[in-house]
Amino acid sequence: MPQFLLFILLFFSQTLFAEIKIPVNLSQLDRLETLRILGMGTSSKILSEPYPLGGYSGLELGVSIEFLDLTDLSSLGATIPDKQENTTYPKLSLGKGLYNNIDMFFNFTPYSKNSGLSQYGGMIRWGFYQSPYVPTCLSLLVHGNATNVSQNIFSQSFGVDLVAGFTLNYVSVYFGGGQIESRGQFVGINSSNNIETEHTSSVHTLMGTILTLDKVFVAIELDRYSDAMISAKIGIRN
């Protein structure tokens, strides 16, 4: 199964995903909007059962596909001849339970000539409450991410979220929210012809559903920053 997930990631990253077309002559307002779309949009997602791996010899491996809405990006800066509405890109993720209901997750996307995108990130999740009466839990998440788009945009995103989860038989749902901020460096695409650095922040809300069959799970998540995006993941969990 791990070899199969890795094959899916490598196949998708090299074949199916369209190039992200970055507009040029970006003003400061254009750069801030670009950072919200590409910086926040590529940040780390949960896409995992809400019950913690921590306290067990837990291990999770998965491949996710994330969908980016690029409609607003195409309208920034200089006009792009062919408007781009959306693109998708893969992530390989690894989660490990540590102790006291603390989990650590790592994710990355290998560089692809097709999309021009590569990224890596991590997340720490602390499951600080589990109800003794109903299958619910509360978790605090701290996450960070770094993204490179075509050697023109280098962004770093950091966020904190509070997440509630509910599990019943084979189905889990979770929802929550918090704050996220992104910093980005823009090279060769600015109206000033200089290297520019920008910073922005936003409220982050999320909700997701997971279907689990034995050790295999499928997750779908909706995240909202300034824009909404959808992610899907298939994985295994011990």
Is 90 exceeded by the pLDDT of residue 108?
Answer: yes
69-75 long-range CB contacts below 8 Å, 24 or more apart?
Answer: 69/37, 69/41, 69/227, 69/228, 69/229, 70/20, 70/21, 70/37, 72/33, 72/37, 72/227, 73/21, 73/22, 73/23, 73/33, 73/34, 73/37, 73/38, 74/21, 74/23
pLDDT (tens digit per residue) in 148-191:
999 999 999 999 999 999 998 899 999 999 999 999 999 999 98
Write down the pLDDT at residue 226.
81
User: Burial letters for 65-91: b for 16+ Cβ neighbours within 10 Å, e otherwise?
Assistant: bbebbbeebbebbeebeeebeebbbbb
* Cα–Cα distance, 214 to 167 (Å, whole number): 14
Mean pLDDT for the stretch of residues 200-205: 96
Is 60 exceeded by the pLDDT of residue 13?
Answer: no
Write down the pLDDT at residue 175.
97
Mean pLDDT for the stretch of residues 22-31: 92
Mean pLDDT for the stretch of residues 88-106: 91
CA distances from 115 to 14, 20, 72, 148 (A): 9, 6, 18, 11
SS (H, E, C) the chain: CHHHHHHHHHHHHHHCCCCCCCCCCECHHHHHHHHHHHHHCCCCCCCCCCCCCCCCCCEEEEEEEEEEECCCHHHCCCCCCCCCCEEEEEEEEEEEECCCCEEEEEEEECCCCCCCEEEEEEEEEEEEEECCCCCEEEEEEEEEEEEEECCCEEEEEEEEEEEEEEEECCEEEEEEEEEEEEEEEECCCECCCCCEEEEEEEEEEEEEEEEEECCEEEEEEEEECCCEEEEEEEEEEC
Higher-confidence residue of 132 and 19: namely 132
* pTM to 2 decimal places: 0.90
